[in-house]
Amino acid sequence: MALSVWIDNNALTGAGGLAGIIHSWGAWAVRLAVAMALLALIFGESRARRELSRISRECAGRPVSWRLLAGHAAAMGCFVALSARLYAGHSASNLSAALWLAFGMAAIALAACALVPPAAWLALARSSGDALIYAIAAAVIACVLGQSFWRLWMPLSRWTFALVQWMLAPLLPTLHANPAAFLIGTPRFEVQIAPECSGYEGMGLVLAFSAAWLWFLRREWRFPNALLLVPAGVAAMFLLNSARIAALILIGNAGAERVAMGGFHSQAGWLAFNGVALGVCVGARRIPWLARAPQPAAVGAESAARTARADGTAAYLLPFLAVLAAAMLARAMSGDFEWAYPLRVAAAAAALWYFRDTYRKLDWRASWQAFAAGALVFALWMALEPLAAGHPDPAPAAWLHASTGARIAWAAFRIAGAIVTVPLAEELAFRGYLLRRLASGNFEAVSWRAFAWMPLIVSSAAFGLMHGERWLAGTLAGAMYALVQMRRGRIGEAVAAHAVTNALLAACVLATGNWALW
């Protein structure tokens, strides 16, 4: 991630030779590699799963090759040094570009072989068979089509413009439209429908999601009937995008320009995508013409265990998902300031209350070490803050100009969310579920004390990425919360540490007025 932020491929504009090829085709080479990897997993799913299970058993007790990891670090060092020269314009010779590619590929190969033996990689490739051929061909086709489909942006913009005009004409007598400039609105509020607003990206997301969902759950669908879900989802996304723009104009024309251009403009598209995705994966499965009737559940202990695992997954994940959904709605209803933040607290509290019987079985006790760990995370967070925010942010003007009662009420909900509902929801999801799910499919059978590097690193990194530009501080925080949980074997330890960190951050915001921490 650091390299992708640092390196700008435009720095090679105008370069010749191999550096020019990297500039022209580098991004597409990465897309091709990602597509090949994903498609190889899809086409060779069953065989790859068996081979991966065998490799996992063979590598379970194998130590990491520190010698290969040292080689990886050396190759990365050379790669970074060559990147500085290549992308700074100091040297764009064929030799430097070739060395840059060689050290980059060597770094990847050395890291892979340090963790998994080369023989296992070869066995996995052999087990894939013709799936690799299909993956390469499909990846090339996908990249070519992806490049070709950019030409659809302008036609889609024109269709979106016409549909928005048709939706608004009966509702706004003062509506005026300029198809040549893609401007539409009223004398009070007007928008320009740029190509990026045509719905192209949302349609692409729904296409990828619905196709993948149908493939991985293909035994549950009736084909070819279920294939209609793909064009239906794409069409629904196009219509919802047009409705989003129409609603944007209606909100702005009603006098809420800041809400329209602030929260609603950025969140309505994601709300539409989530709605279509849920319709595909939940609603459509209830239609007998599209989905197969569920097989009779196996009787006995196995069926009971499977039902218990499903219920457990919901109890660990739904509070966090409720917070995310409420956050999208709250932002969509907000302009310069998120006055609807209490919606997040209410959504999390409702989900936590619904699964309260499940949570009574967990150990919520916390020791003084958890509180100390929370204070340590706060200190690390503050030390890394200059790398993320750079400078403090003052309190929003909308909050400062509000009445005293409104400010106190909002601050009370904000603090309650930071100290109570957010730690509970996030620790249930990341430490209670993800950390253990990465160790075993039957995550509830994994001990709360179980330690493994891969689940710790991946779950902590996922927690860090959720914090955006503060990803490094978030990753370290996630690792610390996981470690205090593992030390005592109690989720209460992680929740207490998280709550202490958030409480200290809230106190710092109120004491210093630095709202960048919120």
Is 82 in the same domain as 204? Answer: no
In this structure, the answer to whether residues 219 and 85 fall within a common structural domain is no
Report pLDDT for 386: 82
In a domain, 310, yes or no: no
Question: How would residue 318 be classed by pLDDT, with cut points 50, 70 and 90?
Answer: very high
Dmax over CA atoms of the chain, in Å, equals 74
pLDDT digits (tens, 9 = 90+) for 257-289: 888 887 788 788 888 998 898 888 888 888 888
Task: Give yes or no: residues 167 and 264 share one domain.
Answer: yes
Mean pLDDT of the chain: 85
Integer CA distances (angstroms), 498 to 14, 37, 106, 383, 417, in order: 50, 36, 39, 17, 12
Per-residue pLDDT for 16 more than 80?
Answer: no
pLDDT at residue number 41: 73
Task: Indicate whether 18 pLDDT > 70.
Answer: yes
Residues 172 and 95 in one domain: no
Q: Which pLDDT does position 426 carry in this prediction?
A: 96
| Residues 266 and 368 reside in one and the same domain | no
Q: pLDDT class for 59, splitting at 50, 70, 90?
A: low
Does one domain contain both 393 and 488? yes
Query: Considering the domain boundaries, does residue 306 fall inside one?
Result: no
> Which pLDDT belongs to residue 349?
95
Q: Which of 286, 308, 336 is the last residue of a domain?
A: 286
Residues 402 and 489 in one domain: yes
375 in a structural domain: yes
Is residue 91 situated within a structural domain? yes
Number of domains in the chain: 3
User: Which residue, of 286, 312, 344, is where some domain finishes?
Assistant: 286
Claim to verify: residue 270 and residue 363 sit in the same structural domain: no
In sequence order, the β-bridge partners of residue 190 are: 185
Give the domain-ending residue among 235, 267, 286: 286
| 313: in domain | no
| Shared-domain flag, residues 122 and 159 | no
Q: Burial level of 296, CB count in 10 A (0-12/13-18/19+)? A: exposed
In a domain, 13, yes or no: yes
At which residue do the structure tokens 């700008």 appear? 8
Determine contact, residues 343/365, Cβ cutoff 8 Å. Answer: no
3-state secondary structure of 490: coil
DSSP state letters, 190-245:
EEE--GGGSSHHHHHHHHHHHHHHHHHTGGGB-TTGGGGHHHHHHHHHHHHHHHHH
E strands in 321-370:
none
Q: Are residues 122 and 253 in the same domain?
A: no
Report how many helices (DSSP H) and strands (DSSP E) the chain contains, helices first. Answer: 23, 3
| Pair 98, 161 in one domain | no
pLDDT: is 389 or 278 the higher one? 278
Cα angle 342, 321, 261 (rounded to 5 degrees) comes to 60
pLDDT (tens digit, 9 = 90+) per residue, 134-178?
Answer: 888 888 888 787 777 777 778 888 899 999 999 999 999 999 999
| Residue 297 resides in a domain | no
Domain boundaries, position 65: 2-129
Same structural domain for residues 124 and 24?
Answer: yes
Q: Is the pTM of this model over 0.85?
A: no
Q: Is position 143 within any domain?
A: no
